[in-house]
């Protein structure tokens, strides 16, 4: 079984809809992250969480919110989806050592019409 899973893997929604992307991990890592990837822009951090009670904004948090329901679960919500949120979304985890190697889920491809 995959260590980091994301659901759904693909999603099509309409402008103005609220949607939630979910991430679960079995690696036992405390730190979890949400990124989006756009062609030519690489990975950009949306939100990160170092434990259940610690949530922090990343580089591009506007229009997004998150919930850390448990150590193993970290959800990303788009409150009112807009077309420029069409992207590939990745969840990642890390152990929290200074070296900070991150392990990525398979990604969720989101299309906002």
Partner 1 sequence: QKEVEQNSGPLSVPEGAIASLNCTYSDRVSQSFFWYRQYSGKSPELIMSIYSNGDKEDGRFTAQLNKASQYVSLLIRDSQPSDSATYLCAVNVYNNNDMRFGAGTRLTVKP
Q: Is 59 in the site for partner 1 (CB under 8 A)?
A: yes
Nearest approach, Cβ of 70 to partner 1 (angstroms)?
Answer: 21
Q: Is 111 in the site for partner 1 (CB under 8 A)?
A: no
Tokens, residue 98: 């200074």
β-pairing verdict for 108-112 and 10-13? parallel
CB nearer to partner 1: pick between 56 and 80: 56
Interatomic CA distance for residues 22 and 7, integer angstroms? 5
Burial (CB count <10 Å: 0-12, 13-18, 19+), residue 34? buried
Q: Which stretch binds partner 1 (CB under 8 A): 13-21, 37-45, 62-70, 73-81?
A: 37-45
Q: Is 52 in the site for partner 1 (CB under 8 A)?
A: no
Q: Is 10 in the site for partner 1 (CB under 8 A)?
A: no
Scored b (16 or more CB within 10 A) or e, 43-64 reads bebbbbbeeeeebeebeeeeeb
Task: Give the count of residues interacting with partner 1 (CB under 8 A).
Answer: 23
CB nearer to partner 1: pick between 17 and 51: 51
Binding site for partner 1 (CB under 8 A): 33, 40-45, 48, 50, 56, 58-59, 90, 98-107
């Amino acid at each position: 079984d995959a260590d980091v899973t994301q659901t759904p893997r693909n999603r099509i929604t309409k402008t103005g809809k609220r949607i939630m992307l979910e991430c679960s991990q079995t690696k036992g890592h405390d730190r979890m992250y949400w990124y989006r990837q756009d062609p030519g822009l690489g990975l950009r951090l949306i939100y990160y969480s170092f434990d259940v009670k610690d949530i922090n904004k990343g580089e591009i948090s506007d229009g997004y919110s998150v919930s850390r329901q448990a150590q193993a679960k970290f959800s990303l919500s788009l409150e009112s989806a807009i077309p420029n949120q069409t992207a590939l979304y990745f969840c990642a985890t890390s152990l929290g050592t200074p070296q900070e190697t991150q392990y990525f889920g398979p990604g969720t491809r989101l299309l906002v019409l």
